Chain A
Amino acid sequence: MSLNWALSLSYSINPDYTYMKSELTWQEFIITRAIKASGYSAIVFVALIFFFLLREGLPTLGEVSFSNLVSTRWYPIEDYFGIVPLITGSLIVTIGAALVAIPFGIGTAIYIAEIAPRWMREILKPLVELLGGLPSVVLGFLGILVFSPWLRVFLDLPTGLTALTGSLLLGGIAVPTVVSVAEDALDTVPRSYREGAWALGATKWQTIWRVTLPAARSGVLTGVMLGVGRAIGETMAVMMVTGNAPVLALSLGSLFSPVRTMTATIAAEMGEVASGSVHYHTLFFIGLVLFLISLAVNVAASAVVFRSKKRAERILS
């Protein structure tokens, strides 16, 4: 196909070479600029949202004393704006979700890409993508009605709406994204890498663990970042199943009690605050903190990717 195109290009070259060339470059100039501009548009959007959060959230620092903000009590009606319990709530749910999504997601991706026979692959891949397309509100609703009562009976808890329920559900929501991207990455590793390993006598698992996975590392980590990112940003499902009690979650035991995440706090309370009030600004301040946390996670992860990618390339090239 590409060769055909290239041939037709050479036929269509105009004898009036200078005229042709200048027109081509003029058009190219514009399209190239447009592509470049859209490449940088991501920065514009991130900056726009950051600016918006700063505008709405920063006044909090002037209105609420710092010691109040870092206290452990969130009770806005009586002016207690301690965001620490919300941060710990978000952390415990997100870390739990990542612990579910990363092994499960990468495991499923490896199974689909490396181990499953072809017919199984044809069934599994669309099914996982279907799961990824399911609206989180539907999953959250099923989480309340089916999953949390089951978990309550199974673990013998006073309530099924706990941090654990939220972690498992969010992990489930993140898995399809991780699988889909990671499987694509594993799939693009050239067959010759695997054949080389087999020729050296490596078993299937040794090949996967020491050759294929390191070679696909950057793509696998992109999948993990997108999946965990979706888990961090997920609002509705979390609000429905975590119970929403703003309690400080420090020990492992709080996994089995209700917590309240930052996103759920914003979603639950934003509808009822007066625009421009202290409470309103504090909710946006929470959004700002969340933004900075996900920024830090992303920068750290991409630093890891870049180091390990260089190492993998050194080994495999």
Chain B
Amino acid sequence: MAELTVKNLEKKASTISLRRKPRWGETIIQGLLFFSGFFSIFITLGIVYELGKEALLFFQMPGVDLLATLTTTEWKPHVNKFGIWPLLTSTLMTTLIAMAIAIPLGMGVAVYLSEYAIPKVRSTLKPILEILAGIPTIVYGYFALTFMTPLLREIFGKDVVQIYNTGSAGLVMGILILPLISSMTEDALSAVPRSLREAAYAMGATKLEVALQIVVPAALSGIAAAIIVGISRAVGETMIVAVAAGAGPNFTFSPFIGAETITGHIVRISGGDLSYDSIDYNSIFALGLFLFIITLVLNIISQAIVRRFREVYE
């Protein structure tokens, strides 16, 4: 904007042309931005193509049947039993437990940071929260196995809680997801215009009433999006469940029993020696595709929610 000073303008006034000047630098920059936007489309399509291609090979193998995969409850690749439910229920268990921790705490953190905390407290708490997002997932995994599990065994009894269990994996996963949810929710809360708060204060509402009954409902679409992102991260989380949730598919709804999740199964299978084109190898892609579909469905739901509850200000 340096050329916009009065002096420059006066100098240029005699020669000025009203036709739009081509700005090559800006055209290039916009082209680059356009390219980086489109790159993500290509990557996503590439991933879908690759997963779909290999998963198709799996379902074409003898002894594999899509219907049986979706309806039976035994996953035993050695005897050609590929029922996805035992992997799915444990994924569901860990995700549910994680969200039971992360949603209430995340909301609390976000409301506190956006509505209550003075700037100084906020500037300390936010980086600390983001540290939680940066701790290696493998450390979380062993935190679950050697800290949370003994704690659960102490509380519920050693006969009830197995060494590997979905409960401790889910609890620790909740801690991992907490910063993601709280930081996205806080962004949504602080985007609510100040005038809404002031109107409520003027009507005599207390601080808590303003926070919970004005600001939170107004930011509902952002909060819903945060929760969905959190869920899809929990579904895809790998290392914690691979370490702490146990190996071996197990059709159970008890949080105290070891059960392998979809991601945990992929890790265990891919860690071993796999021959190319074996049935195990191809099953990994089918499971990957399955995870992708879950994520896709969650995204569609979140889009619908955001559109339904979106409130426009200004």
Contact = CB atoms under 8 A, between A and B. Distances in A.
Nearest to A105: B36
Nearest to B54: A145
B233 A133 contact: yes
Given A131-B40, A142-B47, A294-B131, A32 B208 contact: yes
Nearest to A265: B138
Contact of B36 (A53, A108, A135, A297): A108
Contacts of B95: none
Interface in A259-287: 262-263, 266-267, 270, 275, 284, 287
B77 to A, nearest CB: 17
A53 B116 contact: no
B51 interface: yes
Interface stretch (A1-9, A70-78, A81-89, A158-166): A1-9
B152 to A, nearest CB: 15
Contacts of B116: 32, 35-36, 39
Interface string A219-235: 10010011011101111
A301 B128 CA distance: 12
B56 interface: no
Nearest to B197: A2
Nearest to A7: B203
A227 to B, nearest CB: 9
Contact of B298 (A116, A133, A176, A263): A133
Interface string B265-308: 01100100000000000001000100110011011101100000
Contacts of B33: 107-108, 110-111, 115
B61 interface: no
Contacts of A68: none
Given A226-B180, A232-B134, A235-B239, A302 B112 contact: no
Contacts of A6: 199-200, 203, 205
Interface stretch (A59-67, A183-191, A249-257): A183-191
A306 B112 contact: no
B157 interface: no
B39 A31 contact: no
Given A133-B236, A263-B138, A52 B147 contact: yes
Contact of A129 (B178, B182, B229): B229
Nearest to A191: B314
Contacts of B37: 107-108, 111-112, 116, 120, 124
Contact of B32 (A28, A56, A107, A129): A107
A49 to B, nearest CB: 6
B183 A222 contact: yes
A113 B247 CA distance: 44
Contacts of A31: 208, 212
Interface string B202-216: 011111110111100
Nearest to B176: A233
Given A9-B205, A185-B187, A229 B134 contact: yes
B132 A205 contact: no
Nearest to A25: B206
B59 interface: no
B214 A5 contact: yes
B234 to A, nearest CB: 10
Contacts of B237: 135
Given A108-B40, A135-B291, A298-B134, 8 more contacts: A31-B212, A41-B105, A42-B182, A108-B37, A127-B40, A137-B236, A230-B134, A302-B126
26 contacts: A7-B203, A28-B206, A31-B212, A35-B116, A36-B112, A41-B105, A42-B109, A43-B128, A52-B147, A107-B33, A107-B37, A133-B229, A133-B299, A135-B263, A137-B263, A202-B1, A229-B134, A233-B134, A234-B136, A266-B136, A275-B146, A294-B131, A297-B134, A299-B127, A302-B126, A302-B130
Interface of B: 1, 4, 23, 25-26, 29-30, 32-34, 36-37, 39-41, 43-44, 47, 50-51, 104-105, 107-109, 111-113, 116-117, 123, 125-140, 142-143, 146-147, 175, 178-180, 182-184, 187, 191, 196, 199-200, 203-209, 211-214, 217-218, 222, 229, 232-233, 235-239, 242-243, 263, 266-267, 270, 284, 288, 291-292, 295-296, 298-300, 302-303, 311, 314
